[in-house]
Structure 1
């Protein structure tokens, strides 16, 4: 009976959008992830079926799991950086500050790395 109703698969597209955006895992994909989640929440609020509720809660759980994985990755990176502290490099020696994107403009690998990165997020914050 439900297969003949127009709303039967309405949660599929926003759910797949959430999954795809999580899999893409870039600054740009996360910029629109809230829209996909909002759409899925609106579908659940409108139709209030077991399927729409399951789709929304599953998407929410996937976002939480993705966040936990990212937090674990950041923790591992922090531990790694703590093992190898940076050394102040004098500019007079012509060495490059690793977080100065202007110094790396001619480096193909650095530019490729930053394609999907919000550079302002990796810049050191001034001390207060």
Structure 2
């Protein structure tokens, strides 16, 4: 007789389920970290434009970037825009000695930073 017994199939199915139970959350964490890294990279590029704006005008620029809503005031304020248009949005508020950016990618992942210290912030800040 060739083939598998029911017990062998159940054992194989159990092993696959255990591997999936471990792999799926790990993969989600990996993707979240990658999204945060991509947003962080864009914020770092934006920081260069903000510092240049502060040197020229004496203050940080404020505005937002959301092409889907027709809002691109950040480009006018500091001369920055994302290198690629993948649906990410950025909202920047400025104070005398710092600026806050809330970046949201197309999947809904959000990264909020207070710069130039690059400290994490809360969404309501």
Instruction: State the TM-score, normalizing by the size of structure 2.
Output: 0.37
More strand by share: 2
Instruction: State the TM-score, normalizing by the size of structure 1.
Output: 0.36
Structure with higher RCO (Cα < 8 A, 6+ apart) = 1
More helix by share: 1
